[in-house]
A and B are shown apart, each in its own frame.
Chain A
Amino acid sequence: MSRRPYTPFVSAKTHLVLLEDAGLRVGPTVILQRVKLSLDAGEKVGLLGPNGSGKTTLLRLLATLQRPTSGGGTVLGADLMSNDIYRIRPHIVLIGHEPGLYPELTLAENCRLVASLAGRDQERAGTALELVGLAGAADRRARDCSRGMLRRTELARALIVEPRLLLLDEAHAGLDESASALVDLIADRVAEGGGTAVLVSHDAERLNVDRSVRVVGGMVEQAS
């Protein structure tokens, strides 16, 4: 697949992600507090922490789907409090707990929709499905597929979009060995292309990353 030219919003010397004392509160509940985090180009970073510690919310903040309620930061050079986030969103892929697929569409149709809305060639959808090992199931509706197959199709989305920032929630959960290897392969591909991959997990040993940070009680600690 040919790489889509990326117009950077950041220079090579700046961080792809920089959060400075970012906090997020929903009503009286503090979910994230005083988060300091910097992610550089070419990095694979693990995000560890117990259930309810704020990992998923932090991932949504990095995806620009939520704005901090205190502090601030930049993602791909866009100030999180500005409207620039709308310009950088197409360079971000978030693969969350729930599959973002349409159950009534086939896997191929789901991928073609992504390719079309992302402004990529339709052929890329078929190639991506082949790369994740689902060429034979391309015409199967998403509702008839296993969780693992849906996860693979989500990974195909990352191959279609070729993001600058890849965010994977529960990166290896419920995946067999080959699918886990695929996660690592795609994360490597993003990092090698000058992007950043952030992989969330409960299990540090399963993560194949350059460094990890730990989220505890909504605060980020450097783990390794």
Chain B
Amino acid sequence: MTFWRQAREIARKDLVVEARTSEVVLMTAPFGAAALILIPLAIGTDAPLLSQLGAGLYWIVVLLFGVLVILRKSAVDGPAQTDVIRLLGVDPAARFAGATATTAFLLLLFEIILAPVVIALYNPDLRGWPWLLLILPLTAAGLALLGTIAVGVTAGLGTRISLTPLLIIPLSLPLLLGATQALEGLRLGRGILPWLVLLAAVDLALAVAGVLAARPLEEATA
């Protein structure tokens, strides 16, 4: 079985599980939306201030609540399921690719669900919005790659899964920086190419690191 077919099967299995539990759509997304609703209540209804902060707050909520989306994956594959997959001879890199693809899709869905909420509540400047079609997937892919690696490291170290967010949050700073600065650049009418390049470069570096580390991390899990 080819690498890509293995990755596709893993991704399809994860998507079927998600479709049946709807954890992202029914639980995580409303939770994230609630956070976006609570922030104006906490800092006041200063419309210009909210408009200025909207984009940054959106990405912070995506990052923090996106961790829940990432952790969902580790709940799907327990040790017994992982043993079965390993013994079926699935290439760990294909498993990494499949798991990352699912998580990236779910994170993108999460971002899309939250976008109308932030537009309605914060009234951010939507100049250059078509660029979001590039910024949202690049950020979702980066977080998914980072999250899949972090879940693998946590499992490999035999530590509690609660360590995963501690690995993801600091390492996601380049992604957060790229995403927020790209939106800020659009708002101010500046060029955003350097920030897009940063996002793409981080994604590429994480993809290479994830593929190379997949086998050692999986073997360390035993």
Q: Which A residues form the contact surface with B (CB < 8 A)?
A: 60, 63, 65-67, 86-87, 89-90, 92-94, 96-102, 104-105, 109, 113-114, 116-119, 141, 157, 161
Contact = CB atoms under 8 A, between A and B. Distances in A.
A140 to B, nearest CB: 13
B90 interface: yes
Contact of A101 (B5, B16, B79, B81): B81
Contact of A92 (B9, B78, B87): B87
Nearest to A86: B89
Given A113-B9, A113-B13, A96 B83 contact: yes
B88 A90 contact: yes
A118 B89 contact: yes
Given A90-B87, A118-B89, A102 B81 contact: yes
A94 B9 contact: no
B80 A65 contact: no
**B16, B21, B79, B84 — most chain A CB neighbours (10 Å):** B84
Nearest to B81: A100
A102 B89 CA distance: 18
B7 to A, nearest CB: 11
**A89, A98, A117 — most chain B CB neighbours (10 Å):** A117
Given A113-B13, A117-B6, A99 B80 contact: yes
Nearest to B88: A117
Interface of B: 1, 5-6, 9, 13, 16-17, 20-21, 76, 78-81, 83-90, 222
Given A90-B87, A109-B16, A117-B9, 15 more contacts: A65-B83, A67-B222, A89-B86, A89-B87, A90-B89, A93-B87, A100-B80, A104-B16, A104-B17, A104-B20, A105-B16, A105-B17, A113-B9, A119-B1, A157-B84
A107 B109 CA distance: 29
A66 B87 CA distance: 12
A42 to B, nearest CB: 22
Contacts of B79: 98
19 contacts: A60-B222, A63-B83, A65-B83, A90-B89, A93-B87, A94-B87, A98-B80, A100-B83, A100-B84, A102-B13, A102-B81, A104-B17, A105-B13, A109-B16, A113-B9, A113-B13, A117-B89, A119-B1, A141-B20
Given A101-B81, A102-B76, A65 B87 contact: yes
Nearest to A88: B89
Nearest to A87: B89
A93 B80 CA distance: 12
B88 A114 contact: yes
Contacts of A161: 88
Contacts of B222: 60, 65-67
Contacts of A89: 86-89
Contacts of A65: 83, 86-87, 222
A161 B89 CA distance: 11
A109 B19 CA distance: 14
Contacts of B90: 117
B99 to A, nearest CB: 13
A87 B87 CA distance: 10
**B6, B78, B88, B89 — most chain A CB neighbours (10 Å):** B88
A118 B85 CA distance: 9
A119 B85 CA distance: 13
B38 to A, nearest CB: 31
B14 to A, nearest CB: 9
B22 to A, nearest CB: 11
B87 A96 contact: no
Nearest to B78: A98
A63 B1 contact: no
A208 B46 CA distance: 78
